[in-house]
Chain A
């Protein structure tokens, strides 16, 4: 009888006795992510499920990430197969208006410059001793684009998925904090005051419908390994622009995107088991990811300066900072900074153009990177 009591009681305290030191630390980390999402409004749609998933997976003996466990099933079905990030891309495409970009196509180039941080950070990660595919996954944080980072990392460095996704989503929400000082360092007051005038509507409906098809075909031919990334985002956009499948468009940007975001968030949180997550390498990844996004901003602004010279002073280099994929936060930051120095300056729509260019740019940068890796026989 006493033995049965003892066994029964052990069952109730086993959770405590099996607690590794890293588990309480990660439960606190999960709490911090929840705090940032709920209290500070930093990407709550992602940080809330990620934070909760992180707490769930750090409670021992629940077996949620063991074979047949609830989180493991979700992870295997949606993250390992890369289905979740791709479905989110369809939703992003359906939500994005590429109109401002189509008004001034040259702004596309800012979307390329805003990705240079990816490649520079990749080289730095290699120098710091990461393997080639790990360096690729760390560099891709610079895409400032959660689904792209998850897609690449889950394929080529799944053990880094937790750190890479948390970095990608957290830094994306910190854009309003770290971009303004970088924009200020790299521009003069006169440059920040440049008025770009108003964006005139000049793209026809036919152009808007053909745009996603052109991006898919041309981008796919140049970088076929990333075609699915381009294809899904452009499918969403085609549905939005053609206007004849509004039910599908609405489902993509609402129901599908919401369900997948929830499952993706909780599955990413589930990769943050303290025993795997808490190591110096994770801190290094977070630092490199931050550097990648800062470099993106700096390169975007510097390229904006080049475009200012080439355009005879008509382009405000600040909009280069919006050449990253953090849409639409980055465009709003540019508008706010521009108005600080010239209250009559309305850069928002120009910055939106660069920002949507950055969205295409980040996906293309990943596609180009994957195709180069394929070409070199690394994947």
Chain B
């Protein structure tokens, strides 16, 4: 795909920043689900 620098830069900013934020948000949701499904039990620290 032929693309000028301006289009490339803006695409990287929007899709790159958005993609990183979205991926980490999805991961945080998964971690929250994991914590609910496998709750911490106090005896684990023993």
In the complex where A105-B28, A105-B35 touch, is A127 in contact with B9 (Cβ < 8 A)? yes
Are A126 and B9 within 8 A (Cβ)? yes
CB contacts under 8 Å to A, within B18-46, are: 19-21, 23-32, 34-35, 38-41, 44-45
Closest Cβ of chain A to B28, distance in Å, is 4
Determine whether the beta carbon of B27 is less than 8 Å from that of A372.
Answer: no
Q: Chain B residues near A257 (CB, 8 Å)?
A: none
Tell me which of A207, A218, A222, A378 contacts B19 (CB under 8 A): A222
The answer to whether A105 touches B9 (Cβ under 8 A) is no
Chain B hits for A136, CB < 8 A: 12
What is the CA–CA distance of A214 and B34 in the complex, to the nearest angstrom? 10
Residues of A near B23 (CB, < 8 A) are 112, 218-219, 222-223, 364, 368
Q: Mark A207-226, 1 if CB is under 8 A from B, else 0.
A: 10011001100110011000
Instruction: Report the Cα distance A136→B13, complex, angstroms.
Output: 11
Tell me which of A108, A127, A135, A139 contacts B27 (CB under 8 A). Answer: A108
Which one of A116, A123, A361 lies within 8 Å of B24 (CB-CB)?
A: A361
A281 at the interface (CB under 8 A from B): no
User: Which of B9, B26, B34 has a CB less than 8 Å from the CB of A122?
Assistant: B9
Contacts A112-B24, A205-B44, A222-B23 given; does A132 touch B8 at CB 8 Å = yes
Please give the number of chain A residues whose Cβ is less than 8 angstroms from any Cβ of chain B in the complex: 50
Q: For residue A215, which residues in chain B have a CB less than 8 angstroms away from its CB?
A: 27
Task: Confirm or deny: A251 has a beta carbon within 8 angstroms of a beta carbon on chain B.
Answer: no
Given A214-B31, A218-B26, A222-B23, decide whether A368 and B16 contact each other with a Cβ distance below 8 A: yes
- Say yes or no: A372-B19 contact (C-beta < 8 A), given A109-B25, A111-B24, A127-B9: yes
Binding site for A on B (CB under 8 A): 1, 3, 5, 8-13, 15-17, 19-21, 23-32, 34-35, 38-41, 44-45
Contacts A205-B44, A219-B27, A364-B20 known; 5 new A-B pairs at CB < 8 A:
A108-B27, A119-B16, A123-B13, A132-B8, A135-B9
List, sorted by A's number, 17 A–B pairs whose CB atoms are closer than 8 Å: A105-B28, A105-B35, A109-B25, A109-B28, A113-B21, A115-B17, A115-B20, A122-B9, A126-B8, A135-B9, A206-B38, A218-B30, A361-B24, A368-B20, A369-B16, A372-B11, A376-B11
